Structure 1
Amino acid sequence: MNVNLIQLQSHGDERGALVSLEQSLNIPFQIKRVYYVFNTKESVTRGFHAHKELKQLAIAVKGSCRFLLDDGKEKVDVLLDNPAQGLMIDSFIWREMTDFSEDCVLLVLADAYYDENDYIRDYDKFLGLISDE
């Protein structure tokens, strides 16, 4: 599985740091939706789904969390703990997010608006769709 971590250019000085997110420059798709996850308890696992078409970039802008990614053939464990690094998640990748730090704020950029029909929420169905390709 090709896990793509994108290094985002960080600018800063003694006053602090800034990362700019610009579609088609450092974000490889047109941004249609932005959301963030926060106040997640440490013992909680989120996600448990894949998307048929949606592409996303996830950034831990504060704290950290772990992504367990699965393409039906290979599983990869990725720690997000750098606000200047984004995890590109393509379609047909099962994802689970876990090990949230108490202060974690996970920002997600998506290339499409919310569409429940794009979700695959059953792992066995996901595996069946992958094997059909």
Structure 2
Amino acid sequence: MSTLEKIQLLEIPVVEDVRGNLGFIQKDVLPFEFKRVYYLFDVPSSAFRGGHSHIKQAEVLIALSGSFEVILNDGYSKKSFVLNKPNIGLYIPTGIWRELENFSSGSICLVFASDVFIEEDYIRFFSEFMDSKK
């Protein structure tokens, strides 16, 4: 069973340079081998994303630009994170309900996923998510 204690903030390696910084992700940076990378952008500040849980897939979210809030629920308690630094990733293991909201103007959310898109891996209704915790 996944719990909020398994969630981690990961420090993304950065090479600092007077010409600009370079952040990178390679095999040993994430707690899983990623199979898919996607990003959210142009999300209106009044909108929210997420609203689901995964059965098998884990993810790491990074605010490449701007900021947004990630609200996580393991079926027993909730925890909120504000992501606003491109060198910090939020590791979300399987079995955690997630909602993303309060997107700032110009924000970009980069996501590394442990698997390709498989619709059957999603729990899209909170009531079903809570039933899965019984």
Q: TM-score of the superposition, structure 2-length normalised?
A: 0.95
**Aligned twin of 1:53:** 56
Task: Give the match's secondary structure for 2:56.
Answer: coil
The answer as to 2:90 corresponding to 1:90 is no
C-alpha displacement at 1:52, in angstroms? 0.4
What is the identity percentage for the equivalent residue pairs of Structure 1 and Structure 2? Answer: 35
Gaps of 5+ in 2: none
Q: Calculate the TM-score normalised by the size of structure 1.
A: 0.95
Question: Which moved further from structure 2: 9-18 or 66-75?
Answer: 9-18
Match of 2:103 among 100, 105, 109: 100
Alignment of 1:1-133 (within 5 A): 1-2=4-5, 3-23=7-27, 25-131=28-134
SS at match of 1:127: helix
Note if contact 2:70-2:98 (Cα within 8 Å) is conserved in structure 1: yes
Matched residues in 1 for 2:33 and 2:51: separation?
Answer: 25
Native 8 Å contact 2:13 2:25 kept in 1: no
Matched residues, number:
130
Q: Return 5+ residue gaps in structure 1 as ranges.
A: none
Runs of 4+ more than 2 Å apart: none
| Backbone CA RMSD of aligned residues | 0.7
Displacement of 1:14 after TM fit? 1.3
Deviation at 1:31, TM superposition (A): 1.1
